[in-house]
Structure 1
Amino acid sequence: MAESKLRYSDEELQEFKEIIEQKIARAQEDLELLESSYKNDANNGTDDTSPSFKSFDEGSDVMSKEANVQLAIRQEKFIRDLKNALLRIENKTYGICRVTKKLIQKERLKLVPHATLSIEAKRKQ
Structure 2
Amino acid sequence: MMEDTGSDFTMTFRQLSEASVQQLHAVTWALHDLSSHQLFSDWSRLYLLRLARQEGDNDGDRRHRMKSVNPRYVLRNWMAESATRKAETNDFSEVVLLHDVLGNPFIAQDAAEESGYAARPPLWGRRLKVSCSS
Same fold (TM over 0.5): no
Higher RCO by CA contacts (8 Å cutoff, separation 6 or greater): 1
Q: TM-score, normalised by structure 1?
A: 0.30
TM-score (norm: length of structure 2) = 0.29
Greater Cα radius of gyration, structure 1 or 2: 1
Choose between structure 1 and 2: higher helix proportion.
1
